[in-house]
Amino acid sequence: MKPDSLRRIAAIAHIETLLIIRDKWSLASAFILPLLLLILFGTSLSFDVRNIPLAIWDQDHTPASRSLVAAFRGSPYYRVVSFREGYTDLIKDLDRGKAFVAMVIPPDFERRLNRGETAQVQFIIDGTDSTTAGISRGYIDGIIEKYNVTIQPKDAQPRAGLPFDLAIRVWFNPEMESRNFLVPGLIASILMIISALLISLTLAREWENGTMETLLSLPLKPQEVVIGKLVPYFAIGMLNITILLLASRFILQIRVQGSMILLYLFAMVFTIGVLGLGIFISGVAKRQTVATQLALFATLLPTNLLSGLIYPIPNMPLVLQGISYLVPARYLIHALKGIVLKGIGITILYPSLLLLAAFAVVIVWLAARQVPRQIKEGKS
């Protein structure tokens, strides 16, 4: 790039930086809002289900039944809310939402165990929330399995049908905390939404206020305008990713296992593409209200629904799986999860980096085409 072109880009970037600094709301949106969103969603949004309200009808009232009740009381997943003496009271607890699960222990529970027979325990689960119901059923299986081990005599023979021991290990997220895999996705989502929204609103406001007319009278090339506008917001994006990573480490206790250089490389390429999208949106909208709607539609919905942040992509219909390839956040989320949780490197993640780079090149080119014709045909 020629020195004259670099000077023009630097001048545009300098002017844009001054405008951002003078706009207190833009500064607050650029730095405070992303941090608040990460802390809010990182601490409150969770797929872990704990303290499920449990109502119990113990018809046996024996040491064995009390031991089973204690197994559920000692679990962090259940909270015993009531002891009932009939189905009518259990159903009332379920209907009123006081209990989500009801456990019914039969009157011959201990006697059957002493005889070596199978003692059945009934669980009634509220299926109106299918996700919690499915998770709760898995918790019940785990607690019952541990209970069976504790009551089995030490000299008992292994049960037929289980001729082997299971050695299960969970890698990359041993505690199976949903926060650990949600936060990397949240970083990508916040970076995309804030960056695109901020630059599109700022430039749309310039169109509304008429300040863009100044640029129309200058001998500038489209790419110079785009790059000059992009530079200060790119710096804001890099500061944002740094703040979010620090908050993840020291507030949410999530340590990056892989290369920070590779992580920043992905963030840089992604940010360039997202800012190009914001410039493109502002050029199409030219009004703040329209720019806001377009920016949210182009970032919020695809990032949350089609990037794998919340819903696994393989579980989507084939049509939506195909559309997800057009969502840049998909590749950054994949990279962040790999770098932060697994510590994997470029040899595995390079396809995602190439696709992000292709997106950035295409969208910046489209943004340049949205620059008014007066600039394209500016004086030399």
pLDDT at 163 > cutoff 50: no
Question: How far, in Å, CA of 91 to CA of 86, rounded?
Answer: 9
Residue range 142-159, pLDDT digits in tens = 888 888 877 765 544 544
Q: By the 8 A CB rule, do 204 and 288 touch?
A: yes
Q: What is the reported pLDDT for 177? A: 77
Length of the chain: 380
Q: CA 183, 187, 191: angle at the middle one, nearest 5?
A: 165
Q: What is the reported pLDDT for 319? A: 92
Q: What is the CA radius of gyration of the chain?
A: 29
Angle between helices 63-73 and 130-151 (to 10 degrees): 130
Question: How far, in Å, CA of 258 to CA of 312, rounded?
Answer: 23
208, amino acid identity: E
pLDDT at 13 > cutoff 80: yes
Q: What is the reported pLDDT for 164? A: 40
pLDDT at 336 > cutoff 70: yes
CB atoms within 10 A of CB 80: 15
Residue range 212-252, pLDDT digits in tens = 666 666 677 777 878 888 899 999 999 999 999 999 999 98
Question: How far, in Å, CA of 69 to CA of 80, rounded?
Answer: 9
Q: Which of 52-66, 119-133, 195-209, 294-308 has the highest mean pLDDT?
A: 52-66
- Kindly indicate the confidence band of residue 296, based on its pLDDT and cuts at 50, 70 and 90: confident
The mean of the pLDDT values for the chain is: 84
The helix/strand/coil state of 371 is: coil
| Residue 201: burial class (beta carbons within 10 Å; 0-12, 13-18, 19+) | buried
With CA atoms as reference, report the closest residue to 234 among 204, 288, 191.
191
Q: What is the reported pLDDT for 200? A: 86
Question: How far, in Å, CA of 338 to CA of 345, rounded?
Answer: 8
Residue range 96-110, pLDDT digits in tens = 889 999 999 999 898
Residue range 51-75, pLDDT digits in tens = 899 999 999 999 999 999 999 998 8
Distances (CA, A) of 97 to 55, 127, 135, 371: 11, 12, 18, 57
Bigger pLDDT: 322 or 22?
322
Average pLDDT for 254-261: 92
| Partners of 58 in beta bridges | 105
Pairing relation of β-strands 52-58 and 78-83? parallel
Bigger pLDDT: 114 or 2?
114
Question: How far, in Å, CA of 268 to CA of 241, rounded?
Answer: 9
Question: How far, in Å, CA of 58 to CA of 319, rounded?
Answer: 50
Share of residues in the chain with pLDDT > 70 (%): 89
Question: How far, in Å, CA of 97 to CA of 189, rounded?
Answer: 34
What's the token pair of residue 361? 């090149």
